Amino acid sequence: MYTFSYYKTVLIAFLILAHVNLIGQQHPNLTLTQTGVEQIRKNLGNVPFFDSHLAEVKAEVDAEMLTGIHVPIPKDMAGGYTHDRHKRNFSMLQKAGALYQILQEEKYALYVKEVLMEYARIYNGLPIHPQPRSYARGKIFWQCLNDANWLLYVSQAYDCIYTFLSKKERNHLEDDLFRPFADFISIENPQYFNRIHNHSTWGSAAVGMIGLVMQDEELIQRALYGLKKDGIDKNAKDNDGGFIKKANEKAGFLANIDAPFSPEGYYTEAPYYQRYAMYPYLLFAVGLNNMRPQEKIFDYNNGVLLKAVNTLLNLTDTDGEFYPLNDAQKGMSYFSRELVSSVDIAYHYGDKNPGLLSIANAQGKITLDDAGFAVAMAIEEGKAIPFSKKSMEITDGPDGKQGGITILRAGQVENELNLVAKYSAQGNSHGHYDKLSFSLYHRGEEVLQDYGLARFVNIDQKNGGGYLKENKTWAKQTIAHNTLVVNETSHFKGKYELGSQFHSTKYVSDLSSNGHQLISAKENNAYEGVKMHRTLVMVEDERFENPLILDVFKVKATDKNKYDLPYHYFGQLMSTNFDVKSLESLAPFGKKHGYQHLWLTAKGTATGKIDQLSWFSNNTFHTLSMASEPGDTYLFTKLGANDPEFNLRDDPSFVIRRANTASTLFVNAIETHGSYSPVTEMAENTRSKIKGISILMETEDYSVISINLAEGASIKLYFANNNKNKNQSHSILLDGVEQQWTGPYFIQTN
Amino acid sequence: MYTFSYYKTVLIAFLILAHVNLIGQQHPNLTLTQTGVEQIRKNLGNVPFFDSHLAEVKAEVDAEMLTGIHVPIPKDMAGGYTHDRHKRNFSMLQKAGALYQILQEEKYALYVKEVLMEYARIYNGLPIHPQPRSYARGKIFWQCLNDANWLLYVSQAYDCIYTFLSKKERNHLEDDLFRPFADFISIENPQYFNRIHNHSTWGSAAVGMIGLVMQDEELIQRALYGLKKDGIDKNAKDNDGGFIKKANEKAGFLANIDAPFSPEGYYTEAPYYQRYAMYPYLLFAVGLNNMRPQEKIFDYNNGVLLKAVNTLLNLTDTDGEFYPLNDAQKGMSYFSRELVSSVDIAYHYGDKNPGLLSIANAQGKITLDDAGFAVAMAIEEGKAIPFSKKSMEITDGPDGKQGGITILRAGQVENELNLVAKYSAQGNSHGHYDKLSFSLYHRGEEVLQDYGLARFVNIDQKNGGGYLKENKTWAKQTIAHNTLVVNETSHFKGKYELGSQFHSTKYVSDLSSNGHQLISAKENNAYEGVKMHRTLVMVEDERFENPLILDVFKVKATDKNKYDLPYHYFGQLMSTNFDVKSLESLAPFGKKHGYQHLWLTAKGTATGKIDQLSWFSNNTFHTLSMASEPGDTYLFTKLGANDPEFNLRDDPSFVIRRANTASTLFVNAIETHGSYSPVTEMAENTRSKIKGISILMETEDYSVISINLAEGASIKLYFANNNKNKNQSHSILLDGVEQQWTGPYFIQTN
């Protein structure tokens, strides 16, 4: 009598044979491979992290299948029924395909097949989507981008049931659904497909993935290298105001790796969109790696795709939320599904960094494929160690020469301070006009915020979930950021064409973390006749509960200007040491460049000495200490003016205004201190430790500032301002005392 | 050879003997008793919950003792050094006393003794505290209240080291510290001690506790029954504007149980102050119970003191935070130290309710005494069960006849909806002018808020941590609450003398929770010539994701008035179905009664049909649906006008205004629905289910309203408005159809 095990072996052998198609290509072989499936099946029941996620997905798909098949004629915007339904479909199909492979239960293959047949039945007859909002309208969704999402997910489902289908069925699906679908989002929409943009990455990955499954070399080439002809007008723009394509610019998947990624894998649009784009980048890369290893895709551009995952993970605050640079919805984090797959792929196809396992563990999810299984297995084997985020300098631009982003970190995780300094390129159409801006985080909470975008993604009531006009009129403007505004006008006058031509430049940095960290950058193009140079220092000094932030902003100008330096704080104002007059009626702060959205609520007058402002948020105190000049005014604002549809948040801001001034130096210090508990009602360390700030020297070559604590106690920053002197030995005389140092800066503590 | 165990027995016997003082009284015998100490010592190492807390306290006290003894001459306000230091001292002394008893380590007794000796050295020479802010200034602190805190805590420490001290030492402490201290906060400050007020409860408990330890019958009598003569002027007021004492009013501890507690143990000042007051009430009660069992204090007034703990625990939201009724700082919760001891005492000296154990478990703390040990032991024995909070009706007033508070609850804990309706008495000097107001919570987060107080307790920068003037000008005013304001004037014109004479009256309630719960109350005195009757219904209907709230506010008036019905929501406005015009410049909403603090930001115009407003907060959607009348206007406001010191939060509000109207009916419905995740970016159920609201009948006797859903689907409320008809059988004809029901109301769903 044959044993059960014998039958099982025969069955598996049969299945393996059956999965090799006629031209020799195995299926599945995109994200799930045959070897992977064998490994997974062999270990079912032994890897709890995998098993529990498998059970979850099975329960979800089983429940969905009970509701039947729903392929409605597309009509709604994001947030509407048909949109959500088709979105749900592609996700369910992908999962059902994986379940079929892993559980070998035919019902899942049958479900995938039936849904696909329904799409095949209607696809060719579908008109363009009725909602006319996109520069590239889809057929299933209002924009091609979502159609590409669909195809990228569904390719995986198709790969999983490929051998389950008859040749005739495959021909039907390929002829009536997949190839016309791929053509529609590429040949028929070159303005969508053939450009350098996250949209196009989705497009090329989708076309490439279905091409790989279909073994359609033409589609694969189109995906990798773009359309040879596209007829795109070089002045055409997309809905975000970005240019579609520069003349003679390359397109396709590989060009989309070349252009937006810096050598460290920073994606020029910033983390929110990088997160979104990582999915197609990595998925298609995995498909290529498995089906066309000769492309060596993970080695492409020095392995930038996997470096990008590490960079992206470092662009998160203590809680794993992405810094909302440029257009970014707050709250998006490495718990998103795109980062689940990114982390799994980076682990499995990368250098098996065990720190990634702790993030996978925190995510509590894995992908049901080779990469996810490898992660679950490694966690089961106890290989996870904490993912350590350190201070990090990230360049921007394909050659890494277009400025960048620096993150300074200090303190233990439970009390961590992060400073994010931005001196990058424009960031394509999702860029904001905020050269030399920064934001500050404490314990994963915002202390000085970057507003992010003005949009409620997928919330139908708010412009169908799309960008709101306030994104342009407020969120992108300079005044919406913690950086200098000259004459109430945004950097580059808020003009994309102009801003796209320039980037800021790093001057000097030091992330050594031995008591202080520093990032200093210059911007010479944001305003004609105004050169800006900002230096941010994170000083760890035991006299301060948390590291002290020094913010030294040097302005060199030929003419007299009005300077506004905003700090976008949160929470309740506690005290000021200068006079504040609250206004009896409120008017907008200005007329344009974002000023029209701020209510001016109060005005303060500088004392000409040290001025201080304390506020309280997240049960912590914060104090801004300013080396003021007589004549400086302080302006308190609240967001929300000229906002007829209540699209903006009502956040407060504080603006230092120095008018009628040419060259000048702003020196400010930010303390994060103390705590309050509404349960014990104990308030600790509620006061600033700073007694004075003085500018001891300010010349073309040097800036010397002193933060004065108690009598005889101070922190002094000696700074060389120019490239021509920064690496030399310096000797300067201050109050008859000579101070010597070598290199760009020196911090002296007394 | 004697065994170690023999020595231990002898030692314990010796210690027990040593702890009986000359007049037969044992020590300790207040909160720790000798039997208790034996029990605890016998089980050391066996009750992890107790042991770990003991270890924590030991570590804290050990660390403190290493810093030496600090008894500075008092000078600072709350938040300042001497204030915090003396506060820390009494807490440390209490803990060190307990450690001495439990660990039998002499160093703790020695520490307590040395600190007390230092206080005894300076006390008689101390002038009154230099800060002149209180109606009853202390010597150690700026107010007698804090001095009483000190004495209440220190009594326990003294009890613990009583037998450690020589008679001479005790005489010195009693003559030079404790008795003068007790006299100072009673005889020398009758305006503080001899009244009905939480301050006086602290005073009498403190005097009583030290009296018990000293076996000083005179002090004990003074504590229990107050001063016989006090010479208090009946028109005198305290800092909060409350009367010190009515003519012929009793005083002392027992009178302070009689007056402010309702039969269920609701404390008329509301939960924030009840929480604060529970500590002296219960501590002195425990002392009396242990030292003078003949007083039967826990049976006093039908056991109201222990009932009060249960009531207080029910006055918390899903997260254990107290509803901020009247003057209350938000965030205060049953995790406060007062509730730790209350829960332990209620368990040990009460009916051993195992639900209390789950709260103790969540608190993660116990008191180091008999009660705390009993709780820890019971938890160790696995007796804890969840503390179940149900809908609850709580009366106000000593006889339970001064209106009350009703809490309606529905849904599982993780999705719980709470409605808190207030129709109580004034609440002494901490009361707000908000008759018939309500607040709404979802998952422990505020949906419609009660502002709470305007104060930053113990934060020195904000008026020394004391009440801010905006507490009176905003927080107490009617417009700061979710209830009706007539002619821009607060209830009782905001006059305490007037408000104190009246209370609202419950009309009818139903907490049966079989599909709907209801609370209906009337207020006839807040305005001359205006009778108000509000009915709040929580309808559980499967067509709604969460229970629907119906808010039916009937106004009967002789003259035409201007009515404002505010809803104090939080978060981002999503959409309205009526026209809204945002204003180009902002002015205060009015001149007084709180209106001067609101900026009017936008105006809407009623359609005369159903008007809807949706907003988004805590990742949940909320919709207010209004049966509007032509001519109604909608006013959008933001708090913060006339607030020169930034003492107020900047919360938004929405006000329904119906002007030039005598009798009228406001009918509104509130839906809590849907969800949004910034990580998945999925928005679910973002739209209201309500298509219309109609008033089908509105007479002296009946109100009938209909909430219309889809075609033919509705929820109808039939309501009898009068005491004279409410318990009868009713029959009314609507559109030719007769509807019959019996009793005050009937809900019909189609």
Q: What is the pLDDT of residues B210-249, one digit of tens each?
A: 999 999 999 999 999 999 988 888 788 877 777 778 777 8
**Nearest CB neighbour to B686, from listed A461, A572, A573:** A461
3-state secondary structure of B286: helix
Whether residue A692 has pLDDT greater than 90: yes
Which residue in B19, B430, B481, B491 is the catalytic one? B430
Contacts with A572 from chain B: Cβ below 8 Å: 456, 646, 649
Q: List Cβ neighbours of A607 (8 Å cut-off, separation of 6 or more).
A: A577, A578, A628
Please indicate if any CB of chain B lies within 8 Å of the CB of A638.
yes
CB contact under 8 A, B330 and A678: yes
Rounded to whole angstroms, how far apart are CA atoms A451 and A412? 26
Checking if the pLDDT of B7 tops 60, the result is no
**pLDDT the model gives residue A15:** 45
Residue A401 reports pLDDT greater than 80:
yes
CA dist B303 and B268 (Å) reads: 17
Which are the contacts of B201, defined by CB distance < 8 A and separation ≥ 6?
A: B253, B256, B277, B280, B281
Cβ–Cβ contact B569 with A under 8 A: no
**CB-based contact B646 A459, cutoff 8 Å:** no
Instruction: Identify the three-state secondary structure at position B173.
Output: helix
A599 closest CB neighbour out of B337, B574, B586: B586
pLDDT band at A711 (very low <50, low <70, confident <90, very high): confident
pLDDT at B260 over 60: yes
The answer to whether the Cβ–Cβ distance between B681 and A337 falls below 8 Å is no
| Tens digits of residue pLDDT in B666-705 | 999 999 999 999 999 999 999 999 999 999 999 999 999 9
Lowest mean pLDDT among A20-24, B458-462, B652-656: A20-24
- Which of B574, B581, B599 shows the shortest C-beta gap to A462? B574
| Exposure of A193 in the CB half-sphere (CA atoms within 13 A) | 30
- Tell me, yes or no, if A406 comes closer than 8 A to chain B by beta carbon: no
pLDDT of residue B461: 92
Confirm whether A273 is a catalytic residue: yes
Q: Residue B288 burial by CB count (10 A; 0-12/13-18/19+): exposed, middle or buried? A: buried
pLDDT of residue B11 exceeding 50: no
Cβ distance B652 to A652 less than 8 Å, yes or no, reads no
Q: Which of A679, A680, A686 sits opposite B461 (nearest CB)?
A: A686
Q: Name the band, by pLDDT with cuts 50, 70 and 90, for residue A749.
A: very high
Nearest CA to CA, how far is A510 from chain B (Å)?
Answer: 34
pLDDT at B2 over 90: no
Q: Which of B335, B678, B687 is facing A330, going by the closest CB pair?
A: B678
Q: Which of these, A402, A589, A593, A559, lies nearest to A485 by C-alpha position?
A: A593
Return the pLDDT at B5. Answer: 53
Mean pLDDT value across residues B383-401: 96
Tell me the average pLDDT across A79-91.
93
Write out the two tokens for B520: 């209906």
Q: What is the pLDDT of residue A8?
A: 54
- The pLDDT assigned to A515 comes to 83
Angstrom distance (rounded) from CA A410 to CA B237: 52
Distance from CA of A575 to the nearest CA of B (A): 6
Confidence (pLDDT) at A464: 86
To the nearest whole Å, the CA of B575 is away from the closest chain A CA by 6
**What pLDDT band is residue A249 in, cutting at 50, 70 and 90?**
confident
Mean pLDDT, rounded, for B240-266: 88
- On whether any CB of chain A is under 8 Å from the CB of B362, the answer is no
**What per-residue confidence (pLDDT) applies to A532?**
98
Interchain proximity B331–A679, CB inside 8 Å: yes
The pLDDT of residue A22 is 40
CA distance B79 to chain A (A): 7
Q: What is the DSSP letter of B583?
A: E
Chain A and chain B share a number of CB contacts under 8 A equal to 134
* Angstroms from A496 CA to nearest CA on chain B: 28
Predicted confidence band of residue A6 (pLDDT cuts 50, 70, 90): low
pLDDT at A62 over 50: yes
On chain B, the residues whose CB falls within 8 A of the CB of A329 are 678, 681
For residue B14, pLDDT beyond 90: no
Rounded to a whole number, what is the distance in Å from the CA of B330 to chain A's nearest CA? 7
Structure tokens given for A81? 């029924």
Contact at CB, A331 and B643, closer than 8 angstroms:
no
Measured between CA atoms, the residue of chain B closest to residue A573 is: B646
Q: Do A652 and B650 touch (CB under 8 A)?
A: yes
Q: Is the pLDDT of residue A730 over 90?
A: yes
* Residues of A with Cβ-Cβ distance to B581 under 8 angstroms: 644
DSSP string, A285-340: HHHHHHH-GGG-GGGHHHHHHHHHHHHHHHTB-TTSBBP--SS--TT-BTTSHHHH
B201, containing H or E segment: helix B198-214
List alpha helices for A412-545, DSSP H. Answer: 469-470, 496-499
B461 touches chain A (CB under 8 A): yes
Q: Cβ contacts (< 8 Å) between B650 and chain A: which residues?
A: 638, 650, 652
Domains annotated for chain B, with CATH where assigned, are 392-749 (2.70.98.70)
Q: Which residues in chain B are closer than 8 Å to A332, comparing Cβ atoms?
A: 678-679, 681
Q: How far is A650 from chain B (nearest CA, A)?
A: 8
pTM for this prediction: 0.92
Question: What residues form DSSP beta bridges with A748?
Answer: A716
Contacts of A686 in chain B (CB under 8 A): 79, 459-461
**Predicted pLDDT of residue A136:** 95
pLDDT number for residue A596? 98
Residue of A nearest to B679 (CA): A332
B733 strand-pairing partners? B738
Note the pLDDT of residue A17.
46
A276 CB-near residues (< 8 Å, 6+ apart): A198, A338
Mean pLDDT of chain A: 94
Q: Which of B:606-635 have CB within 8 Å of A?
A: 614, 616
Q: Which positions in chain B touch A458 (Cβ < 8 Å)?
A: 676, 681-683
Q: What does the pLDDT read at residue A1?
A: 45
Give me the pLDDT at residue B203, please: 98
Residue A284 C-alpha, separation from nearest chain B C-alpha, in angstroms: 22
Distance from C-alpha of A687 to C-alpha of A673, rounded to nearest angstrom: 8
Q: Which of B319, B321, B453, B574 to mutate to test the interface with A (most CBs of A within 10 A)?
A: B574
For chain A positions 284-343, those within 8 Å of chain B (CB to CB) are: 329-333, 335-337
Average pLDDT over chain B reads: 94
**Average pLDDT rounded to a whole number, residues B527-537:** 98
Is the Cβ–Cβ distance between B151 and B210 less than 8 Å? yes
What pLDDT does residue A164 have? 97
If we measure between CA atoms, which residue out of A172, A57, A189, A47 comes closest to residue A120? A172
**In whole angstroms, how far apart are CA A577 and each of A410, A605, A687?**
29, 10, 12
Cβ contact A332–B614 (<8 Å): no
Asked if residue A406 lies in contact with residue A509, where contact means CB atoms within 8 angstroms, the answer is: yes
Find the mean pLDDT for residues B156-167: 98
Catalytic, B430? Answer: yes
pLDDT digits (tens, 9 = 90+) for A138-170: 999 999 999 999 999 999 999 999 999 999 999
